[in-house]
Each structure stands twice: as structure tokens, then as C-alpha cells.
Structure 1
């Protein structure tokens, strides 16, 4: 069920991304959608394990994936990727 929901969310986000947005915004939306799908899969794996330590580890990994995806999407929206302004080069 979660996989179907994640696929639906990704499809919806991609549909919205195609509506009058810049290529940079579309790329940022794709980053968010992809990392959200990965995080959802990690959480589903956590739900399916019987080991508490493994479950906690998978949940932490899902949180880290979401945070990384959000940071990358924000960076895509606010920095010029062609000139690498975010890293000072």
C-alpha cells in the first residue's frame, strides 16, 4: 500500500512540476520526489523487520535521506548550479 501511495505522490509531483515551472524548479521537485520515495522504502523495510536495532537504523536512514534530499532541492532552487556559487568556486 505504501508503494502505491509513494508512486501516486511521485506521479502527482511530476505532473505539478510540469506546470509553468523552470527547469531548475523541476529538477528540485524531482530530487524531492525521488528522495521521498527512497525514504518511504526505507521506512517500509523498517516496518517489516523484527529487529529493533535494525528498525531504528532504517528509520534514521530514512530521516537522513529526506534531509539530504530537501537540502539538495533547496540548493538547486537558490544557487546557480552552472557557476557553483554555493561552494565558492
Structure 2
């Protein structure tokens, strides 16, 4: 009987840990925003370079 209760407790605890890992905290959300901003800036710079290159080739 005690073993069954212990197994249920362990499984419940493991499920709670897995659920908590799925939730993004404020630092994770901020990091994702920074990653997106850097990626967008890189794409904008690349597009600007492409425009300059195409205008000098004409």
C-alpha cells in the first residue's frame, strides 16, 4: 500500500516538473524578443546591402 502511494507521488511530481518546463519564464520571453530583434536587424542589413549592390550594378 505504501509503495503504491509512493509511486503515485513520484509520477505526480514528475508530471509537475515536466509541465513547469513547458512554461516560459520572463527571462526566456525576453531572450526570445532579443533573438527576434537581432534576426530582424540582420535581415534589414542584408536587404539594404542587396539594394546597394543592385543599384551599383545598373
Q: Normalising by structure 2, report the TM-score.
A: 0.50
Bigger Rg, which one: 2
Q: Higher helix share goes to which structure?
A: 2
